[in-house]
A and B are shown apart, each in its own frame.
Chain A
Amino acid sequence: MYDTSNAKKLKAQRTLLYVFFGLLTLLSILPFWIVIVNATRTAPQIQQGLSLIPRGNAWNNWTFLRGRGFNILQGYGNSFFIAASATTLSLYFSSLTAYALIVYEFKGKKIMWGLILMLIMIPSQVSIIGFYRFIANIGLLNNYIPLILPAVASAPTVFFMKQYLETIYHPALVDSARIDGASELKIFHTIILPLMRPALATMAIFGFIGSWNNFLLPLILINERSMYTLPMLVQLLTTDGYRTEFGAMYMGIALSIIPLILLYTFLSRYIIGGVTAGGVKQ
């Protein structure tokens, strides 16, 4: 097809691109790698110079962190509890909402859909002051409830679920079950939800990561140390107590990112698929 000079040119082009991609890959990995390596070094070693080879001081750094009350296990637990609860609620109720929007005809449906589209675009940060006062007024500061329950009304998830359900839904699915006398809720639970498994999985990942990474809201609502989420704990690493304890500081950061990196190595295919399908913004 191509003559040899063209083929050569193509090869050179490809090589150049691979080199470029390689550089971008380094850019993605290197910051995390430096953090992880430094988490295993002593403060003087870190001061001496840059290194990409782990050393043996991880345990000491960990012990120092623990001594400072940096209870990362508790942070994992708190963040996991919040993210898992919020994700579960958001998945269930978003599917239910999407189902209602597709299967039933009712007054105000179009308005609801317009509202949901609008909500996707308007981030919750703009009403954070009202949200904060509202939560303070009903006495739910220092409580996980305001971090979890709003997930019931998650517009982006509804949008994604509806898009998905549209592609797989067929009235015959529901009709036969209705003839058998199944209740509407039962139809949703036994027929629709299982069908939506791929979409649920995708949104579960995004919902979980989104909630796990949330910083502003817990920062405003939570002040009990024992209730701190992971990003709030990470924030403590910038304070005075760690300024000279570099190894421990890096250990703290490393511990906050390792679970996500692990999760990503297993699930990256689904995550990329989700981004491709939905243009999802966290």
Chain B
Amino acid sequence: MATTTTTTTATGKQKRLAKRKNHDKWGYVFMAPFFLFFLAFNFYPMFYTIYLSFTDLAGWATEANIVGFRNFQNIYNNMLFRRAVSNTFILWVVNFIPQIVLAFLLAYWFTSRRLNLKGIGFFKSLFYLPNIITAASVAVIFSSLFSYPRGPINQFLLSGGLVDSPVDFFRSVVMTRLIVSFIQFWMWYGQTTIVLQAGILGIDENLFDAARVDGATDWQSFTKITMPLMKPITLYVLITSLIGGLQMFDIPYLLTGGGPQQSVETMITFIYKQAFQGGRNLNVAATASVVLLLMTTAFSLLVFNSFRTRSSKQIKKGVK
């Protein structure tokens, strides 16, 4: 990223350097609100969370005493937390794989010159629609669509003769997980398609023309040119989706509250319940948050690198 900044501002830099010195202090002034609010509402809460993960603050207590790494030991042994972590990944994987496959196919079809499909903008906007709808509403919609015994899906299955008796979807671990993953898939594949399509459109046309001259089919140039060049952007999509997936809360929480059998208990539902229900263990919730923070940071460092590769590509394109 840093490279981009210097390239664009380098023009005429020396000429104005002297004059500019006077103005540059305004940089601090203009950054100040962002910085102050960042400190108050991001930085401080984050460190406060970390601090609480080393304390015994729980229940009605108002005083927090430092207890060292005890909470971290406990959370390592907390079977429910482990389950929440693995649930979170299961739910994410089951949503992401079909999502990225479908998004790639759609992006390929949308950009294919041979197919030259009409109405792409229309379809794109419809595929993206679920993404803007309030997740809380989406959860309530699906909980009523799949409700037992006479929800719309059951009515459909029964009237079509597909099942003999209504299915209690939210009593089944597999079904509930599938529904949560499906909702996630449904809300995000449109977005992924658009990002991938933008990536494909950003590839140098000459490459495709050259391939065509060499007699490559559409599919060949897709797999041989597009796919390799799309690696960084795919990685970007993957990691942002993963980081987003780690924050999953609204859908599982409002759909079943984490059940049945804790099958869609996610890291954030765990944190929420720890902090605000039962024994109200703010310390445990904070510890789980720190684990989540570490995971997120690790993944975002990965994306940070992919960013870098991506933007240097863009610069090359600009040079051309």
Which of A's residues lie within 8 Å of B, judged by CB?
Answer: 10, 13-14, 17-18, 21, 24-25, 27-29, 31-32, 34-35, 38, 47, 49-50, 93-94, 96-97, 99-106, 109-110, 112-113, 115, 117-119, 121-134, 146, 149-150, 152-153, 158, 166, 169, 171, 175, 178, 184, 188, 209, 212-213, 215-216, 220, 230-232, 234-235, 237-238, 246, 249-250, 253, 256-257, 260-261, 263-264, 268-269, 271-272, 275-277, 279, 281-282
Contacts and interface: CB of A to CB of B under 8 A. Distances in A.
A129 B1 contact: no
Classify the interface of chain B: helix, strand, loop or mixed: helix
A158 B282 CA distance: 32
B2 interface: yes
B307 to A, nearest CB: 7
Contacts of A269: 121, 125
Given A117-B304, A134-B45, A109 B126 contact: no
Nearest to A121: B300
Interface string B208-244: 0000000000000000000000000100110010011
Contacts of A21: 119, 123
Contacts of B155: 49-50
Contacts of B275: 129, 132
A153 B48 contact: no
Given A127-B45, A271-B132, 16 more contacts: A24-B126, A28-B130, A28-B190, A34-B152, A49-B155, A101-B5, A105-B24, A113-B1, A128-B289, A130-B47, A184-B30, A215-B136, A230-B134, A263-B132, A268-B125, A279-B233
Nearest to B284: A129
B25 interface: yes
Nearest to A94: B34
24 contacts: A14-B115, A29-B126, A93-B37, A94-B34, A100-B27, A100-B28, A106-B28, A110-B2, A119-B42, A126-B46, A126-B292, A129-B275, A129-B286, A150-B37, A153-B34, A235-B136, A238-B140, A256-B137, A268-B125, A269-B125, A271-B132, A272-B124, A272-B194, A279-B233
B30 A166 contact: no
Interface in B266-298: 268, 271-272, 275-276, 282, 285-286, 289, 292-293, 296-297
A45 B50 CA distance: 53
B262 interface: no
B249 A209 contact: no
Given A249-B144, A257-B134, A220 B276 contact: yes
Interface residue range, chain B: 35 or more
Interface string B169-191: 00000000000000000100011
B11 interface: yes
A150 B250 contact: no
Given A100-B27, A152-B37, A122 B300 contact: yes
B250 A250 contact: no
A213 to B, nearest CB: 4
Given A10-B115, A129-B285, A131-B45, A17 B109 contact: yes
A124 B42 contact: yes
B97 interface: no
Contacts of A275: 128, 191, 194-195
Nearest to B249: A216
Among B119, B137, B293, B299: residue with most chain A CB under 10 A:
B137
B12 interface: yes
Nearest to B4: A166
A234 B46 contact: no
Nearest to A263: B132
B31 A112 contact: yes
B26 interface: yes
Contacts of A103: 23, 27
Contact of A127 (B11, B49, B240): B49
B133 interface: yes
B31 A97 contact: yes
A10 B114 contact: yes
Contacts of B20: 104-105
Contacts of A237: 140
Contacts of A175: 16
Interface string B32-61: 011101100110111111111000000000
Instruction: Give me the 8 closest cross-chain CB pairs, A-B, nearest first.
Output: A104-B27, A121-B300, A130-B48, A130-B49, A100-B30, A231-B136, A130-B45, A131-B45
A215 B26 contact: no
Contact of B128 (A105, A250, A272): A272
B271 A32 contact: no
Given A100-B30, A126-B289, A279-B236, A121 B296 contact: yes
B33 A152 contact: yes
Contacts of A101: 5, 27, 31
Contacts of A184: 23, 26, 29-30
Interface string B134-158: 1111001111110000101001100
